[in-house]
Structure 1
Amino acid sequence: MLTELLRPADTVAFVDTVRRREPGLFPGDAAGAAPLDMAGFEAILGALHHAHEGVLHLARGGDRRSLPPELVDRDGMLDLRQVRQVFEDGETLYLTKAHRLSPALADLCRGIELDLAGHGITLRESAGAHVFATPPAAQGFAPHRDGHGSLIVQLEGRKTWQVEDGNGPQRACGVPAEDWARLPKRKFVLEPGDVLYVPEYRGHAARAGTVSSLHLTIRLFPLRWRDVLGEIAGALPGLNAPVPHARTADPDALAAGLADLLGSPDVRTALPSLIGGLSARRTARRAVLADGGLGERGSLEGIGEKTWLARTRGADCLVTSDDISATIHFPGGAVRGPIEVLAAFEYVAGARVLRAVDLPGALVPAVTVDVVCRLVAEGLLRRARPAEIDEAVQ
């Protein structure tokens, strides 16, 4: 997904930008494979129900507010005539969590997550998409800092961005006008197809050009050490012990005691298994993307050794094992089997299209068919489509 989005830029250059936490412009051809246009955006708005309840917002000149209830009819649907009017009057339309409303955006967000994971970047939260439609020459939001990295995809029109050149406070907050005026900034002008990365906590503001602008912001939440510590702190040995009263009155002694505790052999011994559990939770995504699964779960009849199967859309896998069993984890579930299926699970985790006959290990044909049928039943695999089979046999 990143390759398509950044073309002709190098995906590795973007990954390095994320790691360095520096802003970067990637002039490209994303418009050729744009997941949304203004007509599609309006179609989403037309299908929204109770959009004024935290889904669609208005913003103008730095003032963001919830959608007025009068823009929603008695059936809970948007009055598009009034929505068009407020847009023409200068209001930016800000649609949150658009990946929940558009399969194309859901695919894009999941694909970016998987691409980043393939380059060693784990996210603390799933990637999500917000959409901004801004009238000509308008600025919806005042300068601010976000608690997430922003992958900005310009879909229509032109938008000029100013991004803080240097690190400010490491928190999400607004930037007062007097502070913004004196901060060093970098200027980026985005045309359709261009992509801009703004790191978390980096101040930024944007204004549309002479025509209306539509852009997509994909929110990226890189995993931080504080997230790791927060997830494993409850299980670290010794942290449930009370702090001696004498140390609470002496900051130096308190700090030394905590450092000694974190550096103790018990903590060092416990860390690998705790981190391993965290990795499993982070790798196996919870949300399952739509991929015809309603019809697949009951259609196991006819699946044989040479039936072509494919992993469902956006399904990444993690395989774990112990002395007697192996488990393959995937979005929405997991399948456990005897240790003899470990090699088969690892093959499934690394393949996009496969057949039961291709599974490695000392398994008899009936067992390999049982394995793939179980994974079809659980939603990880489905019957491959003709184009997928053609690609696999080439």
Structure 2
Amino acid sequence: MTGYDAFAHAQALLTGLGDQEPPPTGGVRLHQPVVGGETTAHEALLAGVWSALARPGALATNFRLVESGRQIDRSRWMRSRVGDGEVLHTTLVPAYLHSAVERGATLVISHLEALDERVMLLCEALEYQLRARAWVNCYITAGENSAFDVHSDDHDALILQLLGRKHWEVDSRVGARSHDLTPGSLDRVLTPGMCLSVPRDTAHRVSGTGELTVHLTVGYEPFADVREETRAAHELVGRTAPDPDPEWLTTRLALRPDRRAGASLRSALTGEVGSGTRIRWASRFPPYVTTGEEHLTITTMGRRIRLDRRLANTITLLTRGGALTYDDLAADSDLPDADLRALVAFGARNDFLICEG
């Protein structure tokens, strides 16, 4: 991972975009980091893109090549065979891709988080902090024209520029499903490290600058669309849904079974935890924790877990969302080593902690 801290990078992006409130609140926003401040982060993500291109494997359908608004048949730039039972082996055809991208085609990789661990960890970190379902698409081009012209998306998005420059025009009227951009719209060329927030249903046009350019689009649905579900349920019985408060939304998300990617099999089977073992909370959304006189009750992934109240400080450390090595956790925890190891082993066996490495 070359020292890439996905959770810290997600925090830096959201802080740069959000001021007091995280996106999409506040409409179209642009974050330009301090020069040299986040170089490692976007370079690590770019390495993830090159890694995905080297081994598309069974996820060949995640790749599209678009030219002049039309998809190019995969048989021209992709070679696939079925072997080892029903396993699909896929490789890209570099010669065709080189010429297509250079003449202005756009290579699109959908759900890049399924192909690279660095991108997956960033996606998870953004989900946890935004309380949202998220996914990551990648766009690679070297042309000057827009592959998709003016359009809007039905989800919120964060744009992360990784390589080269890309020209973005985004309508200043949030929610305007228009084919024409209003005067005064955002008109900027993004450079590596910059991040742009584009709320859903906001018209925008993206164009290359004639050089090789790579950017990620993190699509997300805040609060996993719990608000929309609540409104729909009230409408069915002819009522107006109240605007839910953040605590209620957090509770609803904690009841969902959604889990982060990752396995704890080694620690679950052996009970062993090394000094460098990376430990993180297993749920995609923050748990809901209530404290009684003697116990903590943790609602996470639809389950309720009851723990001794003396574990409160350590549980707070674990539920912040980032990955901690065992040594880091031990340094900040107030538990004796034997009790901490027992808690981590219990968490791995009961699948509310992910322990890797």
Please tell me the TM-score bracket, short chain as reference. Answer: 0.7 to 0.9
1:33 paired residue number: 41
2:93 paired residue number: 80
Q: Distance in 1 between matches of 2:170 and 2:195?
A: 14
- The 5-angstrom pairing of residues 231-250 of structure 1 reads 231=230
1:373 paired residue number: 345
Q: Is the 8 A contact 2:164 2:213 kept in 1?
A: yes
Q: Does 1:286 align with 2:258?
A: yes
1:104 paired residue number: 118
Equivalent position amino acid for 1:31 in 2: T
Q: 1:92 to 1:377 in 2, by over 3 A?
A: same
1:358 paired residue number: 334
Higher mean alpha-carbon deviation, 198-207 vs 134-143, is at: 134-143
Give the superposition deviation at 1:282.
1.3
Q: Distance in 1 between matches of 2:348 and 2:268?
A: 6
Give the superposition deviation at 1:153.
1.0
Q: 1:111 to 1:366 in 2, by over 3 A?
A: closer
Q: Is the 8 A contact 1:30 1:194 kept in 2?
A: no
Q: Does 1:135 align with 2:107?
A: no
Q: Does 1:20 align with 2:25?
A: yes
Deviations 1:267-300 (A, max 9, x none): 99xx99xx85x5334146723233x623211122
2:315 paired residue number: 349
- Using the aligned pairs only, state the percent identity: 19
Residue of structure 1 aligned with 2:305, choices 305, 314, 336: 336
1:158 paired residue number: 165
Q: Is the 8 A contact 1:320 1:328 kept in 2?
A: yes
1:248 paired residue number: none
Give the superposition deviation at 1:311.
3.4
Give the superposition deviation at 1:158.
0.6
1:318 paired residue number: 288
Higher mean alpha-carbon deviation, 19-28 vs 3-12, is at: 3-12
1:197 paired residue number: 197
| Structure 1 gaps, min length 5 | 117-121, 241-257, 386-394
Q: Secondary structure, in 3 states, of the residue corresponding to 2:79?
A: coil
Give the superposition deviation at 1:151.
1.1
**Aligned residues, how many?**
326
The structure with the larger Rg is 1
Q: 1:321 to 1:231 in 2, by over 3 A?
A: farther
Q: 1:166 to 1:6 in 2, by over 3 A?
A: same
Q: Does 1:211 align with 2:211?
A: yes
Q: Is the 8 A contact 1:131 1:215 kept in 2?
A: yes
Give the superposition deviation at 1:227.
3.7
1:230 paired residue number: 229
Q: Is the 8 A contact 1:166 1:184 kept in 2?
A: no
Q: Does 1:148 align with 2:155?
A: yes
Give the superposition deviation at 1:128.
1.4
Q: Is the 8 A contact 1:95 1:132 kept in 2?
A: yes
Deviations 1:308-333 (A, max 9, x none): 986326654333579998543446x7
Q: Is the 8 A contact 1:129 1:218 kept in 2?
A: yes
Give the superposition deviation at 1:145.
0.9
Task: Provide the alpha-carbon RMSD of the alignment.
Answer: 4.2
Give the superposition deviation at 1:381.
4.0
